[in-house]
Chain A
Amino acid sequence: MATRREFLKGAVRGTLATTAVLTGASAITPVEARETHARPAEALGLLYDATLCIGCKACMAACKVANDNPPEFNTSEHLWDTPLDTTGHTFNIIKAYRNGTMATKDVAENGFAFMKFSCLHCADPSCVSACPVSAMTKDPVTGVVGYNPDKCIGCRYCVAACPFGIPKYQYDDPFGRIGKCELCRHRHSKGHYSACAEVCPTGATLFGRTADLLAEAKRRLALKPGEVTQYPRGRLKSVAEQQGQADKRWRAEPDQTYEGKVGTYVQRVYGEHEYGGTQVLKLSAVPFERVGMPNLPPHSSAATSETIQHSLYGGLLMPLAVLGALTVIAKRNVKTDDDSPQQGGES
């Protein structure tokens, strides 16, 4: 029989050793907080200006064609594509905000407005951090968040993680994939940019470098409501291009800029700072939280999650140290309860 004293000695020693090793390990493990990532310098994205959107949904149709997605029906007659939200087969949707009499466009009370929902291509995407098999990746140059179905295991951690509810799974299919906007990256090599921006008749959805798009958004916010200004359509040319330097990546297009009246903007570029910023930016006349865009802090949850993981498991230092301590203690304690008599006290 082990005496009480022996037990106490063992327990105290065990606890002390474990604590000492844990403390030692945390001291040598570099517990550096992982900072929230910023957008790559040449990040590509979209600028959606809700005050210019007329709700024609041409972008939705073009998106379906470009991504080879089937129509989805929510009416009794299956005549038109009528998705109610982004789904595994609908990567882009225009939703209407409606309030009271809906008399005036872009007014919060008794008004209506539009909002585009599609992947925002976060600077520090939760889906990329969550994905265990690197099926969701962020392009280091363009910053496009892309999906690889050949790696994806269908765990749907990305679906749960995204604060915008963007990656969606195709539950109706035994071989279902994750569906989300990839900024039409498969069309880039042919000189085409995002289909939604290509077809937008009013320039409400504009494609370009996020840095240029952010400058354009801020230019609009600085204008007086009702003032007349120039609105580009399709692809926003960079400063260098405007000075005559062609960007060979994209097909040549005629200039489609037109004159329009400035809307009554909320003084905020959505996506400038949220979770470290997004590459798709939005302007609206109705407060963003009312049109379905969540209020997010500038610090990404991916950074919080990875800081915890790497503090505990960085270089496997802490687990190995704990394992060492446990092994030493277990070796001493296992001997005494070996139940094969011929083993004796040794081994």
Chain B
Amino acid sequence: MSSLHQTAPVGGPLVNKTTAIAAALVALMTAILLYRFVFGLGSVTNLSDGYPWGIWIVIDVVIGSAFACGGFSVAMLVYIFNRGEYHPLVRPALLASLLGYTLAGAGVIFDLGRWWNVWNMFWPWSVNPNSVMFEVAVCITAYIVVMWIEFSPVFLEKLGLRDLKRKLNRVLFFIIALGILLPMMHQSSLGTLWVVLGEQVHPLWQTPLVPALFLFTAIIMGYAVVLFESCLASSAYRREIEMSLLAPLAKVMLGVVLVYIGLRFADLVWRGVLPLALQFNRESLLFWLEMVCFIAPFGLIGSALQRQNPARLFVAGILLMLGGSLLRFNGFLMGYHTGDGFTYFPSLAEILVTSGMFATEVLVYILVTRRFPVLPRAESQS
């Protein structure tokens, strides 16, 4: 039997400098969104027909949901590869995922030009099963529901609904299985989204293998986010860092990165476009910047001794989050060329909304972890 893993609310004040700044950013975002819904997308964004998708889609939804893969990555490790020792990481990772995905779902609505028709996405007489976006939308919606159910024991505990919790526990294994399948499906399909864009996406990113690249990087980003968040939460809440868990987790993560790098280069060689990476231009520079983010962590946390250093784990986590983000950013924006005469740089309003989205996540994460049993119970505290 594995030992019982205790979680407890962190406690402490809900109003402090961090939550105040986050709340201000959320308020700003709300105001901009209100304006956007009254006056249209063009009134606040720099979107054009050459760049119909800006940072609201690429960062808030595509990258944001990949950052939210911590829950799925850790659950896969714990429940599929039976590594129960990582169980204390499940709840905090799941909370971040739940928030990330719920916000990504909301972010889609902010960007939809005809949002009042969104029900067609689920209307049997409207859906188009050939569309990659249809699969993404249905899977993400289902996953958000599944995650709320997965996370509900936290609230049920707090509310004292033990009967309901026991009933839920009986079917939890199925919910967990669904919670692993669904992100595998839509995280890969988020990459398949750009296959139909064809020649408009630079060959360094346009490949039929893109679903596999997205799936691997989503898992990597999931672990990287857990490293990042654990270090950040420990430092912010002045708790001991769970090094006994994070160091071996980092090793698992590096294994996945190794497979990914192999796959990425094998694909470039197989399609005969590796020479494009050796030219000196914008695309090749962006490509190598992206790849360096995946390769550098081996220098940072390659040895067991290095992995005992929380600062190194933290930086490696950030680098891998950045690498996965660049893959997405490059394919959808920097390596996308629809014809001459179009440029895109996000407007201040777009940047503020994206900041507001991340601020919402930080705010809710703090509020929930301070009041609900999410983080592992601190053993010793100064």
Beyond A2-B2, A154-B113, whether A129 also contacts B131 by CB under 8 A is: yes
Stretch at the interface among B132-140, B297-305, B314-322: B132-140
Stretch at the interface among A73-81, A108-116, A191-199, A329-337: A329-337
Chain A nearest CB from B35 CB (Å) reads: 10
Of B83, B108, B120, B131, which is within 8 A of A11 by CB?
B83
Contacts of B42 in A (CB 8 A): 171-173, 176
Q: B80 to A330, Cβ gap below 8 A?
A: yes
Chain B nearest CB from A248 CB (Å) reads: 32
Q: B84 to A132, Cβ gap below 8 A?
A: no
Q: A134 to B126, Cβ gap below 8 A?
A: yes
CA distance A291 to B165 in the complex (A): 67
Residue A288 is within 8 A (CB to CB) of chain B in the complex: no
Q: A133 to B169, Cβ gap below 8 A?
A: no
CA distance A332 to B105 in the complex (A): 32
Contacts of B39 in A (CB 8 A): 174
Q: A153 to B117, Cβ gap below 8 A?
A: yes
Contacts of B311 in A (CB 8 A): none
CB within 8 Å of A: which of B27-85? 37-43, 45, 47-50, 52-53, 78-85
Of A154, A323, A333, A334, which is within 8 A of B112 by CB?
A154
Contact with B along A127-154 (1 / 0, CB 8 A): 0011111110000000000000111111
Of A88, A133, A292, A297, which is within 8 A of B121 by CB?
A133
CB within 8 Å of B: which of A319-347? 319, 322-323, 326-327, 329-341, 343, 347
Q: B339 to A165, Cβ gap below 8 A?
A: yes
Residue B173 is within 8 A (CB to CB) of chain A in the complex: yes
Stretch at the interface among B17-25, B179-187, B282-290: B179-187
Beyond A305-B132, A309-B135, A322-B184, whether A172 also contacts B172 by CB under 8 A is: no
Chain A nearest CB from B25 CB (Å) reads: 24
Q: Which residue of A lies closest to B162 (CB)?
A: A340
Q: A334 to B176, Cβ gap below 8 A?
A: yes
Of B40, B79, B338, which is within 8 A of A329 by CB?
B79
Output the residue of A133, A275, A301 with the most chain B CB within 10 A: A133
Residue A185 is within 8 A (CB to CB) of chain B in the complex: no
CA distance A308 to B87 in the complex (A): 35
Q: B1 to A174, Cβ gap below 8 A?
A: no
Residue A157 is within 8 A (CB to CB) of chain B in the complex: yes
CA distance A149 to B117 in the complex (A): 9
Counting contact residues on chain A (CB < 8 A from B), the size range is 35 or more
CA distance A322 to B135 in the complex (A): 17
Of B53, B129, B173, which is within 8 A of A156 by CB?
B53
Residue B158 is within 8 A (CB to CB) of chain A in the complex: no
Residue B196 is within 8 A (CB to CB) of chain A in the complex: yes
Beyond A18-B80, A133-B120, A174-B38, whether A304 also contacts B208 by CB under 8 A is: yes
CA distance A278 to B12 in the complex (A): 65
CA distance A297 to B5 in the complex (A): 58
Q: B127 to A126, Cβ gap below 8 A?
A: no
Q: Which residue of A lies closest to B47 (CB)?
A: A171
CB within 8 Å of B: which of A154-175? 154-157, 159-161, 163, 165, 168-175
Q: A340 to B199, Cβ gap below 8 A?
A: no
Q: Which residue of B lies closest to A296 (CB)?
A: B199
Contacts of B196 in A (CB 8 A): 126, 129-130, 161, 301-302, 304-305
Contacts of B50 in A (CB 8 A): 165
CA distance A172 to B38 in the complex (A): 11
CB within 8 Å of A: which of B143-198? 162, 165-166, 169-170, 172-174, 176-178, 180-181, 184-185, 188-189, 192-193, 195-198
Residue A85 is within 8 A (CB to CB) of chain B in the complex: yes
CA distance A6 to B85 in the complex (A): 12
CA distance A302 to B165 in the complex (A): 46
CA distance A329 to B198 in the complex (A): 39
Beyond A129-B131, A171-B47, A327-B174, whether A305 also contacts B40 by CB under 8 A is: no
Beyond A14-B81, A306-B130, whether A153 also contacts B112 by CB under 8 A is: yes
Contacts of A309 in B (CB 8 A): 129-130, 132, 135, 189, 192
Of A7, A159, A175, A305, which is within 8 A of B49 by CB?
A159
Residue B118 is within 8 A (CB to CB) of chain A in the complex: yes
Q: A333 to B208, Cβ gap below 8 A?
A: no
Q: B131 to A131, Cβ gap below 8 A?
A: yes
Q: A132 to B177, Cβ gap below 8 A?
A: no
Contacts of B347 in A (CB 8 A): none
Residue B141 is within 8 A (CB to CB) of chain A in the complex: no
Q: A343 to B166, Cβ gap below 8 A?
A: yes
Output the residue of B49, B108, B166 with the most chain A CB within 10 A: B49
Residue A210 is within 8 A (CB to CB) of chain B in the complex: no
Residue B115 is within 8 A (CB to CB) of chain A in the complex: yes
Contacts of A92 in B (CB 8 A): none
Q: Which residue of A lies closest to B184 (CB)?
A: A322
Contacts of B176 in A (CB 8 A): 326, 330, 334
Chain B nearest CB from A12 CB (Å) reads: 9
Chain A nearest CB from B152 CB (Å) reads: 14
Q: B180 to A326, Cβ gap below 8 A?
A: yes
Residue B200 is within 8 A (CB to CB) of chain A in the complex: yes
Q: A153 to B80, Cβ gap below 8 A?
A: no
Residue B272 is within 8 A (CB to CB) of chain A in the complex: no
Q: B137 to A126, Cβ gap below 8 A?
A: no
Q: B173 to A319, Cβ gap below 8 A?
A: no
Listed A/B pairs (5) with beta-carbon separation below 8 Å: A131-B128, A154-B113, A169-B49, A329-B79, A333-B78
4 further contact pairs, Cβ within 8 A, besides A309-B135, A319-B181, A326-B80: A156-B53, A171-B41, A323-B181, A327-B173
Residue numbers of A with Cβ under 8 A of B are 1-2, 6-7, 10-11, 14-15, 18, 85, 87-88, 126, 129-135, 149-157, 159-161, 163, 165, 168-177, 275, 292, 294, 296-297, 300-302, 304-306, 308-310, 312-313, 319, 322-323, 326-327, 329-341, 343, 347
Closest 4 CB pairs of A and B: A154-B113, A171-B42, A10-B82, A301-B198
